[in-house]
A and B are shown apart, each in its own frame.
Chain A
Amino acid sequence: RDFNERCAQCSEVNWGLTDGGRFYCRSCHNVTERTREVVNTDFITNSRVQTISKGSRKQEKNDGGSEWYICEGFQLVLKKQVEALEALGVCPQMKDEILCNFWRCYLQKSKQAYCKRPAGEAVKALSVCESSTDVDSDPERPSLLHLLSLSESEGDLQTDCSFASSVSKVSESTSVYSGSVDGSLYLMKSQKEKLRMTMPMTLSFCYMALLWMREPITLSELLRYVVEGHIPYLNVFQHFPEKMKLCGLDLKIFCVESWPVYEEVFNKMHELAAYLDLPRFPDITESCFLHPDMLCMKYLMEANLPDELHNWTCRVVKKIGIGEVDFLTLVPGNKSTRKVKYDVLAAAVIVVVLKLLFLLDDHYECFSVISFISSQTKVYIFYSGGPYFEFKKWYEVVKHSLDVQQKKLDEERAKYLWRCEKPLFYSVKNKAKVLKRRQMVVNLQNQFGKLSSSVQRAEKPNPSSFQLSWSEKNTDGSCFHRHSLKGILQEKRGLLTTMNPDYWLCTVKLCNEKLCGHLAHYKEVEFPQSYHFVLGLFSFLLQVQPSYIHDEVCMIEHKLFNKKLYKKLKYNTVLRK
């Protein structure tokens, strides 16, 4: 049943089945002489072989490319991405057992394959009979010109006047130029009825599979690996086989010119999970990497905060029940529970703990330790093996490091090369022009590359889940992991409590997330500088906007002070454990 020989042309094992029952290589589209003897109804469980039941495949088009469908393109993208994840050390089962099944399920649900009458053909038939009528008169269907202004490439196409005009000419007939068979139809499908595949959605698929496998990769990390180039995303299409020609509207679909955004990938993943009718995901328990206690440990290390704080984050997590399995585990389609951003949640827990201990009001945190030391005997400074943790010192060390890293990141982003070797053109008409431009760009790049200060950039750095690292071996005292919190704690009835009796809430009233999209609203000027710094630090570590973390901080605070708020104890509440 499984045809596992290597392809004669590209030596890949990646077989598809033509409608004639022959195997063809999905990497290079080489068709073998071997045919399937028996067509089994349950062959779809074989991950290696998939049929594409879209009629007989024309092997050659006049430009030397063969026919291909958009979903095939996405399948290739997903394959590249999951292979990259495997190389990063993700469990190898993910590719064949999880992601592949998700993808097949998606194809079936969206009626693109594994069904009697694929949607593509239906629409195709529809478009044939409609092509005589004026498309624009149909209110349900967006016109093609209209499509051009939407979706991925952010209207850059519009400025290409030659393309826009060529499109407007042909817009009466539905046959807009594209290399794939269904490129134009794909963009016309209304997005409401089904989830249309987009490039950010490929990452939603990856994230969903990672979450299902409970792999120790958070979404923010996944996106960071994408930006750092460890996971193919930008310009993946250059790995498409030679015969899959990409042009016209295909570029709108596969050619991305912006980095994936956390919120978008996150939301699409949940939509997707609901769309596929997936069951409850495997439980996130205390031993899972995504559990707040685990993540807090990681982020405490990365933020150079004392290990002792972990005790406090655990207490907060326990108190408000965000460590519960039911809270953490994703149940697709369940609208009553809030979707958990594991990484942002953990960061927010740390912020809340810092607020509990140090208040972060630009005043208390600077003087707390000093006043304590001066009032107490100075004998116990090296208590429990480590010096007292001083917020001010920590701030200076981390701020310096953060600034350096941020500058490096900004420069790297500015230096990022977006274009790939493979030239892209929207129509054959401007192919010559595009190629000429490309050549000139290469020439100029060579010319100025020679004059650059740095020799051609070194190899990509190895992927790391830490962006900032602090070693205890450094003797310059820049590592705070072992520092003690004794300076700001006091013992009361056998329990350690904070010296600081006060607390301030980020917001008194939460917004309705469903109506306004946010729980709270973050404006830098309205909050203390040190609070902003802490948010900025985690915003850098997670590469998300500070407001995401702020939202989560507000949510945690409200759970934490729920009772107190009801008792109307107002803003300055005292927290006693």
Chain B
Amino acid sequence: MDSFLEEEDEEAPTVVVAGKRRRRSSPAAQALQPPLHLPFLPLQPVSSNEHKLNFRKSKEACLSFIQDALLQKEWKRAAEFLTCYIESLEKDYSREHIGPSEMIWRTGAEILWHHSQSSMKEFNCFMEQMKTLGVKRYLKVCLEHVFHLLCNGQIDEAYQNLSLAESWRFGEQTAIQDKEMKLIQAYRGLLDYYSWSKQKNILLENSEDGFSDSAVEQEMHGYFRKAAVNLKEIIKIPGVWDIFVKCYVDLLEFYGDHNEARQVLNEYAYNSKFPANPNAHVYLYQFLKRQREPKKSLISALKILHDIVPSHELMIDFNTMLQKSKKRKKRRLGLEVIFAALDYAGWKENAKAWSCLSRQVKQIVISEKHLDWIKQEWNSRKDWWPAFHFSRYLAKRNWQENKSLSYEKALVAGILLGKGCKYFKYVSHQGCKAQLKRFRMLKKFVNRHNPVYLRISGPPDSSVQP
């Protein structure tokens, strides 16, 4: 067919060109130009073929009905269409990335998992069939099967399946699916860790009762070795391995290998080949805290976490630590951290965070030093925080729901926005009406320091000393 096309295409242009050229250009000019060689056109489909309904189109339509039904969680309807889609397996000789057999595996598993009339037995049977269907994704199917078994609480079956998958050999395919194999091994290691921790608990209980069981202990150490080997392997590969890292560190700590644990965590947090992962820093921080490491290293671990996730819950700890610091720079950072955290909606009603902020603000106001810190932080927020945090509606709600939250917020609002601000006015009024002493104090405090507000919100002014 191609050779035929070539002939046609070469002929066609010469005929046309000859007719037009002869009149205009001299033969010499024509000789300079090589004959136009047109590239191949795709075989043109006959117009009616576009609408030809055939096997493939019908199955494509079927697949999209399946997907719709899955999205709507209509499992029965999805099963109905899948029943009709299955026969595309018989024509699945394609080397496409996601062929019908993969589609059947994925959608079928989803349907069987959610369908009310399906059972685990049926699910297992389906998965076994899927394993025989494609060697290229054998391990993937195995892994997914294991996940489902775990979700169903069948831990022993899951372990068996993992062991079986680990011993799978299929020529080249075993080497190609190396990554999946590593995962299989890692999950087996995880299950070994699970057994280890169960044994550990038995042992701990027994020792409380005064027993000691060397057999159980032996078994436990056995699990440790098996788990440690596999977990250590997977952690070496760049990736997000939170659960594996956590378990491995737990094992190491239990056996007192703190150096190895520290190394693993440092590697996990700081190796640039690994994707950025906030949890890596959290784990490191928690480990360091357990090890009672000096403040300095704790702060440096949290500093990175602050850079990645300014809204992380550990930011309270971070702020507390920084506030206590004697260094000006660190206290300054603390203010930054708590302001940044409160930018996020998740923190809006967190009394602890607000008390951190109010404490620091109060401190600064009383000492009358570093008012410019507040001024700087406030500058970028003054046009949206009032609506975001200090509306009258919020004042009402906070007052009803959480008095101490509204106290802290009112203090901050009073300092930042002055005594005329809605939030402060409402809360202090309510507080005085309820004859609460600390609200009266609050009102006095704000009134006394009202000039601060003018300095904070005013234009940059030279009288403010750093």
Q: Are B90 and A452 in contact (CB under 8 A)?
A: no
Residue of A160, A264, A415, A419 near B62 (CB, 8 A) is A415
Stretch binding the partner chain, chosen from B47-55, B267-275, B349-357: B47-55
- Is B118 in contact with chain A by the CB < 8 A criterion? yes
B51: nearest chain-A partner, CB-CB: A545
Give the chain A neighbours of B48 by CB distance below 8 A: 261-264, 545
In the bound complex, do residue B79 and residue A451 qualify as a contact, i.e. CB atoms below 8 Å apart?
yes
CB pair A448 B55 closer than 8 Å: no
| Chain B residues within an 8 Å CB radius of A86 | none
Asked if residues B58 and A416 are in contact (CB atoms below 8 Å), the reply is yes
Q: Which residues of B contact A264 (CB under 8 A)?
A: 48
> How far is it, in angstroms, between the C-alpha of A443 and the C-alpha of B86 when the chains are bound?
10
Which of B51, B115, B125 has most chain A Cβ within 10 Å?
B51
Q: How near does chain A come to B102, taking the closest CB pair, in angstroms?
A: 14
Give the complex CA separation of A327 and B129 in angstroms.
Answer: 62
Q: What B residues does A517 contact at CB under 8 A?
A: 47
Interfacial chain B residues near A259, Cβ < 8 Å: 52-54
Contact A415 B53 (CB under 8 A): no
Q: Which 3 A-B pairs have the closest CB atoms?
A: A258-B54, A453-B76, A452-B80
**Interface residue? A379 (CB, 8 A):** no
A257 touches B93 (CB 8 A): no
Q: Does A48 contact B (CB under 8 A)?
A: no
Is residue A411 contacting chain B, with contact meaning CB distance below 8 A? yes
Contact indicator A258/B84 (Cβ below 8 Å): no
Given A159-B94, A257-B54, A258-B53, A448:B87 Cβ within 8 A: no
Q: Smallest CB-CB separation from A446: which chain B residue?
A: B83
Known contacts A257-B54, A259-B52, A447-B122; A416/B129 CB under 8 A: no
User: Any chain B CB within 8 A of the CB of A418?
Assistant: yes
A161 within 8 Å of B (CB atoms): yes
Report the Cα distance A437→B133, complex, angstroms: 9
**Which residues from A are CB-within-8-Å of B56?**
257
Task: Report yes or no: B52 in contact with A445, Cβ–Cβ below 8 A.
Answer: no
Contacts of B76 in A (CB 8 A): 451-453
Docked CA distance A326–B429 (Å):
101
User: Can you list, as one digit per residue, whether each of B52-95 has a CB less than 8 Å from chain A (1) or not (0)?
Assistant: 11111010011011000000001111011111101101110111
Give B75's nearest chain A residue, CB to CB. Answer: A451
Q: Is B117 an interface residue (CB 8 A)?
A: yes
Contacts A261-B48, A416-B84, A454-B80 given; indicate if A437 touches B89 (C-beta within 8 A): yes
Interface residues of A in 436-460 (CB under 8 A from B): 437-438, 440-441, 443-445, 447-454
Contact of A415 among B52, B54, B84, B129 (CB under 8 A): B84
A419 neighbours in B (Cβ, 8 Å): 87, 90
| Contact of B129 with A443 in the complex, beta carbons under 8 Å | yes
A277 within 8 A of B: no
Q: B104 at interface (Cβ–Cβ under 8 A)? A: yes
A125 at the interface (CB under 8 A from B): no
Indicate if the CB atoms of B104 and A444 lie closer than 8 Å.
yes
Is there contact, CB below 8 Å, between B1 and A146? yes
Pairwise interchain contact A418-B61, C-beta atoms closer than 8 A: no
Establish whether residues A417 and B93, one from each chain, have CB atoms under 8 Å apart when the complex forms: no
Interface flags, B122-140, vs A, CB<8A=1, else 0 = 1001100100110000000
Number of A-B pairs, beta carbon distance below 8 Å:
109
Interface presence of A97 (CB below 8 A): no
Q: A434 — nearest CB in chain B belongs to which residue?
A: B90
Alpha-carbon separation in the docked complex, A517 to B44 (Å): 14
Residues 103 to 162 of chain B near chain A (Cβ within 8 Å): 104, 108, 111-112, 115, 117-118, 122, 125-126, 129, 132-133
* Chain A residues with CB below 8 A from B111, complex form: 448, 451
How far does the alpha carbon of A215 sit from the alpha carbon of B462 in the complex, in Å?
103
Residue A19 at the B interface, CB < 8 A? no
Q: Which residues of A sit under 8 angstroms from B52, Cβ to Cβ?
A: 258-259, 261
For A450, list chain B residues within 8 Å (CB): 117
Q: A413-B58, A416-B58 are in contact. Are A160 and B93 (CB under 8 A)?
A: yes
B61 touches A414 (CB 8 A): yes
**If the complex has contacts A259-B52, A414-B58, are A441 and B77 also in contact, measured as CB distance less than 8 A?**
no
**CB of A410 within 8 A of chain B?**
yes
Extra contacts, 5 of them, besides A257-B54, A445-B83 (Cβ < 8 A), are: A159-B94, A417-B84, A437-B89, A441-B89, A452-B80
Contact of A451 among B61, B118, B125, B129 (CB under 8 A): B118
Instruction: List A contacts of B83 (CB < 8 A).
Output: 445, 448-449, 452
Which residue of chain B has its CB nearest to the CB of A454?
B80
Tell yes or no: A149 within 8 A of B by CB: yes
Task: List B contacts of A263 (CB < 8 A).
Answer: 48
- The answer, yes or no, to whether A154 is at the interface (CB within 8 Å) is yes
CB A407 to nearest CB in B, in angstroms, measures: 11
Q: Which chain A positions have C-beta within 8 A of B74? A: 453
Within 8 Å of chain B (Cβ to Cβ): is A156? Answer: yes
In the complex, which residues of chain A have a beta carbon less than 8 angstroms from the beta carbon of B81? 414-415
Q: How far apart are the CA atoms of A448 and B75 in the complex, in Å?
A: 10
Given A261-B48, A261-B49, A545-B48, A448 and B58 contact (CB-CB distance below 8 Å) = no
Given contacts A441-B90, A451-B76, A452-B76, contact A414 B84 (CB under 8 A): yes
Which residues 386-439 in A have Cβ within 8 Å of B in the complex?
410-411, 413-419, 434, 437-438
A57 CB, nearest partner CB in chain B, Å: 33
Instruction: Provide the residues of chain B in CB contact with A445, threshold 8 Å.
Output: 83, 86-87
Least Cβ–Cβ distance between A514 and chain B, in angstroms: 15
Q: Provide 19 A-B residue pairs closer than 8 Å at the C-beta atoms, listed in order of the A residue.
A: A150-B1, A154-B54, A156-B91, A258-B52, A258-B53, A416-B58, A416-B84, A438-B90, A440-B133, A443-B129, A444-B86, A444-B104, A448-B80, A448-B82, A451-B115, A452-B79, A453-B79, A454-B80, A545-B51
Evaluate contact between A415 and B89: CB separation under 8 angstroms: no
A159 to chain B, nearest CB (A): 5
CB neighbours of A440 from chain B (8 A): 89, 129, 132-133
Which residues of the partner chain A approach B108 to less than 8 Å between Cβ atoms?
Answer: 444, 448
Please measure, in the bound complex, the distance between the C-alpha atom of A448 and the C-alpha atom of B126, giving whole angstroms. 10
Our pick among B55, B64, B122 for the contact of A418 (Cβ within 8 Å) is B55
- Most A C-beta atoms less than 10 A away, residue of B76, B81, B84, B133: B84
A247 CB to nearest chain B CB (Å):
15
Interface string of B417-450 (1 = CB under 8 A from A): 0000000000000000000000000000000000
Docked complex Cα distance between A371 and B55 (Å): 51
| Pair B87/A441 contact, Cβ less than 8 Å | yes
Chain A residues closer than 8 Å to B61, beta-carbon distance = 410, 413-414
Cα A154 to Cα B54 in complex, Å, equals 10
Determine the chain B residues whose CB is within 8 A of the CB of A444 once the complex forms. Answer: 86, 89, 104, 108, 126, 129
B256 → chain A closest CB, angstroms: 53
| Chain B residues near A448 (CB-CB < 8 A) | 79-80, 82-83, 86, 108, 111
| A414 and B129 within 8 A (CB) | no
| Chain B 1-35 interface mask (CB, 8 Å, partner A; 1/0) | 10000000000000000000000000000000000
Q: Are B87 and A453 in contact (CB under 8 A)?
A: no
**Could you tell me the distance in whole angstroms from the C-beta of A222 to the nearest C-beta in chain B?**
16
Closest to A142 in B: B1
A414 touches B90 (CB 8 A): no
**CA gap between A261 and B55 in the complex, in Å:** 14
Question: Nearest-CB distance from B105 to chain A (Å)?
Answer: 11
Taking the closest CB of chain A, its distance from the CB of B262, in whole angstroms, is: 52
In the assembly, what is the distance between CA of A413 and CA of B133, in Å? Answer: 26
Q: A415, A438, A443: which contacts B80 (Cβ < 8 A)?
A: A415
- A79 CA to B195 CA, complexed, in Å: 71
Contacts of A414 in B (CB 8 A): 58, 61-62, 64-65, 81, 84
Please, which residues of chain A bring their CB within 8 A of the CB of B90? Answer: 419, 434, 437-438, 441
The minimal Cβ–Cβ distance linking A149 to chain B, given in whole angstroms, is: 7
Q: In the assembly, what is the distance between CA of A222 and CA of B329, in Å?
A: 88
- Nearest to B63 among chain A residues (CB) is A414
What mask results when residues 242 to 278 of chain A are scored 1 for a CB within 8 Å of chain B, else 0?
0000000000000001110111100000000000000
Question: Which residues in A have their C-beta under 8 angstroms from that of B115?
Answer: 451
A104 to B90, CA, bound (A): 37
Q: Which residues on A sit within 8 Å (CB–CB) of B82?
A: 448
CA distance A63 to B172 in the complex (A): 36
